[in-house]
Amino acid sequence: MRQAGRTGAVATILVVDDDERLTSRMVQEFRASGHTCRAQTRAEYVLTEIEANPVDLLILDVMLPGISGFELCRRIRANEQLYSLPILMLSAMSDEEEISHGLAQGADDYVSKPFRFEMLLKRVENLLSTNSHASNLDTMTGLLSAKGVKLEVQRALNTRQTFQLVYVELLHATEFGRIVGEEERAKAIRHVARALQALGEQFHSEPFKVGHLGGGHFLVILPKGSADEYCEKVAKLWREHLPEFYNSIGKGSALAAAQSSRTTPRPFSVPVLDISFFVTSHEPAQSISFRELLDTLSRLRESSRRRGGGVYTDRRI
């Protein structure tokens, strides 16, 4: 009888490496740990193989004959059926630039050779436990999770789409939760999530995806040229809805007082939940990673710290 791995789940793993001695050992070790495992030495056969015989995780060497591991990783992330497949890359090179490059192609993890199998197994089981289909959805909002929306951005990059990326922040959400309560804070976050989803669906064109990054933070993928209109509509809808929301939690008078006050709010007064939008764009001719897009949005966010809600756009594109 096979023994289940430490995650308690039996997974199907494909190892892609032209080192037959190493792959043979990995196959044996994974099978001994309770998983189903098979090997492939040629990257060009992998897409066809896993489309015909699906796997739960791919272990992919960087240096392969013909198509490189990096290129295969990009092709998987661009594939509509396979783009969410967990990928762990292997390489004899361990410098930081190599690792960063591998992760930028869409890999979920990176292990340098030589390695101890116990360590590799632990990394594999961690990926299996954190990359289930359910982990692509956020339980609070029903939107894509942080992982799910990252995969969607990576797919848009690898398929060389033109798109705009919008980081949305519900301002003062943490302070609001501390003063009013976490249940009311979660309610506000869900209200924003519904607005972001509903207004994005009005564009009737791809790409459009919205994910919840946690707290009052969201990431939205939009068609080129639509971000300004989208942000304005979301902000307008939120401002119009705010009195109704505060009334629903018994804080309508506190909102009115805060909005009419021209002085610095008193300590422990209820903050006004405003929204900020940070926008950057991607063109197919650009060679840019998901991390670089986020860095651009982070810089916009930092530069707007003292300016309150509004739309802040990267005008360099």
What's the pLDDT score for residue 97?
Answer: 67
Once rounded to an integer, what is the mean pLDDT over residues 215-231? 94
- How confident is the model over 14-35, as a mean pLDDT? 93
Instruction: For residue 279, give the H/E element and its range.
Output: strand 275-282
Distance CA(49)–CA(20), nearest Å, equals 18
* pLDDT digits 0-9 by tens, 292-305: 898 899 999 888 87
In a domain, 196, yes or no: yes
* Integer Cα distance of 294 and 305 in angstroms: 17
Round to whole Å and give the CA distance between 91 and 170. 41
Residue length of the chain: 317
Give 236-247 pLDDT, tens digit per residue.
Answer: 999 999 999 999
Buried/exposed code over 231-264 (b: 16+ C-beta within 10 A; e: otherwise): beebbebbeeebeebbeebebeebbeebeeeeee
User: Where does a domain end: 79, 104, 131?
Assistant: 131
- State the average pLDDT for the chain: 86
Tell me, yes or no, whether 137 lies in a domain. no
Residue 59 belongs to some domain of the structure: yes
Average pLDDT value for residue range 107-120: 90
Evaluate if residue 271 carries a pLDDT over 90. no
**Whether residue 169 sits in one domain with residue 125:** no
End of a domain among 106, 131, 156? Answer: 131
According to the model, what pLDDT value does residue 133 have? 52
* CB count in 10 Å sphere of residue 190: 15
53 compared with 81, residue with greater pLDDT: 53
Task: Kindly indicate the confidence band of residue 137, based on its pLDDT and cuts at 50, 70 and 90.
Answer: confident
Cβ contact 9:35 at 8 Å:
no
- Whether residue 139 is contained in a domain is answered as no
| Gap between the Cα atoms of 97 and 101, Å rounded | 6
Backbone angles phi, psi at 230, to 5 degrees: -60, -50
User: What torsion, rounded to 10 degrees, do the Cα atoms 144, 150, 155, 157 define?
Assistant: 140
Same-domain status, 111 and 173: no
Domain count, the chain: 2
Of 131, 157, 185, the residue at which a domain comes to its end is 131
Residue 108: domain span: 12-131
Inform me whether the pLDDT recorded for 6 exceeds 60.
Answer: no
